[in-house]
A and B are shown apart, each in its own frame.
Chain A
Amino acid sequence: MFNAVSKSPWVVHFNCNSCNGCDIEFLACLTPHYDVERFGILHIGNPKHADVLVVTGSVNNRNARVLQNVYNQIPDPKVVVAMGVCTSSGGVFAGCYNILGGVDIVIPVDVFVPGCPPRPEAMIDGIVKAVGILERKRKGEVFPTAPKPTHTFKPSEEQSAEKTVIKEEKTV
């Protein structure tokens, strides 16, 4: 049964603080012009059915918990594809008071796709790479998290000290 997973990976998409640019480009990947469905990739809404998490944008205190929840609900083996430069550092928004940093501070990332926004071709390349990693994870290989893109914003020590992820945010 698990053989089918890497032949037809299902993707769930979560917009995590993004400006929409990456999201519409990711949705464009699914539609006939770029058509990732030819790789068997299907976009679905329920994280419990998914194998691949596509995340765009950076993390703030409010959505860190949601991102963690979505990630935890995906059954193993799973891979995370981080779209756009915001996912690695905050991108153009790095330095905003409400940006904690890239998504890698909350969840482990397998593939970073840099760009603002990345071209759909780059996104397809990222997803195909992730599917390869998914196949190897299925066989029991342990994968380290992906290295960050080399040219990325590094916050000064003062900035990173005052911004910490609040994991337990209580909501009604």
Chain B
Amino acid sequence: MAKNTIIPFGPQHPVLPEPIQLRLVLDEERVVSAIPVVGYVHRGLEKLAEQKDFLQDTFLIERICGICSFIHSLTYSMGIESMMGLTPPPRAQYLRVIWSELHRMHSHLLAVGLLADAFGFENLFMQLWRTREHIMDAMEATTGARVMLGTCCPGGVRKDIDPELLKFILTTLVTVEKEMDEQMPVLLNDYSVKQRLCGVGILDKQTAYERGAVGPTARASGIAMDLRTHGYAAYGELGVEPMVETDGDCYARTKVRVRELYQSMNIVRKAIGQIPAGPINVPFKTKPDGEVVMRAEQPRGEVLYYLKGNGTDMLERLRVRTPTFANIPPVLAMLAGCELADVGVIVISIDPCISCTER
């Protein structure tokens, strides 16, 4: 038997925007197993959150990850609200849905674009990111920031969206949909793209379930799991169906993301159509006390927050379980037995967010 070789994949690698190392145990060109080496972006944010007060934490929490920042602060705020027994006004709930879905759209376009870059289709990467800029413009117009929105806070949201800006979001969506209608057939029907994605990195339903996959990775393997169906914020009134594929390969994961892009667009339209008037936050004077576990659906899957307060300004404990952390064991299962040349595509197909994972 030939001796196995170990080659390092990362921490600095062209397909990875973030540092994680995978030690690939190879038998010739075939990957036998992969050993993840993490810690390159560990900052110690959970400890820092205990040293700041719970309102400052809202903005610290956003910086766990720059891609899904709003949904992090949303989950945190929902947790604090549930500890203090607050119910945000309906308009705030709808505004939260609008910003969450804009974030999901920009994140999915980013992920699909990076995937296109990983299999060498640079033109498509550029086109998808150009479309993404329209959504970034909409976020900047409504909040004043492109990445760290800073609008969600315990009790509601900090900014309202004017009727004109709501109209601007709708016109943006028309542009985005028009451009996506041109790009998505190329991504999903192109012969060369299918050669790189179909049947690569297969994760069957049983393995996905056993290894605890979440988000698009789980949904592409046939597990109908989407926390938005539980109806947090205003999702209960908007009706969300999980997008499920059954193949479990890189192509299925991409297809789930593309379908979710169109779904998010419809959710935003529906939310803008039925957004009620009224206040956008509730005042409070209490301090968080007790324990709570709060979950929400991020672009990459389910995020779980554990918060423990003791009636003072500071939280006693804050723990975050992010979606990529849950998706690392499934990706190791996908890598076993694949070709070395497919490693980049497989890793990017789960849309890894290492900053989230290591905090």
A33 partner residues in chain B, CB cutoff 8 A: 129-130, 133
How many interface residues does B have (CB within 8 Å)? 40
Determine if B77 is an interface residue (Cβ-Cβ < 8 Å): no
Instruction: Report the stretch among A55-63, A124-132, A133-141, A144-152 that lies at the interface.
Output: A55-63
Task: Answer yes or no: A82 CB below 8 A from chain B CBs.
Answer: no
Bitwise, B89-126 to A at CB < 8 A (1) or not (0) is 00000000000000000000010000000000000011
Nearest neighbor of A93 in chain B, beta-carbon distance: B43
Chain B residues near A99: list those with CB within 8 A. Answer: 43-44
The distance from the CB of A13 to the nearest CB of chain B, in whole angstroms, is 8
Given contacts A24-B110, A46-B14, contact A17 B45 (CB under 8 A): no
* CB of B12, distance to nearest CB on chain A (Å): 6
For window 42-85 of chain B, which residues contact chain A by CB distance below 8 Å? 42-45, 47-48, 51, 59-60, 63-67, 69
Q: In the complex, which residues 36-76 of chain A have their Cβ closer than 8 Å to any Cβ of chain B?
A: 44-47, 57-58, 60, 62-63, 66, 70
Complex: chain B residue closest to A90, CB-CB: B43
Give Cα A44 to B122, complex, Å: 12
> Chain A contact residues (Cβ within 8 angstroms of B): what range?
35 or more
Residues on B with C-beta less than 8 A from A16 are 19
B276: interface (CB < 8 Å): no
**Once bound together, how far apart are the Cα atoms of A119 and B355, in whole Å?**
20
Residues of A within 8 A of B (CB): 13-25, 27-28, 31-33, 44-47, 57-58, 60, 62-63, 66, 70, 92-93, 95-99, 116-117, 119
| 15 sampled A-B residue pairs with Cβ under 8 A | A17-B40, A21-B69, A24-B110, A28-B129, A28-B133, A31-B125, A33-B130, A33-B133, A93-B43, A96-B43, A96-B44, A97-B47, A116-B148, A117-B146, A119-B146
The list of the 8 closest CB pairs from A to B, nearest first, reads: A45-B14, A21-B66, A31-B129, A20-B66, A96-B44, A33-B133, A98-B44, A32-B130
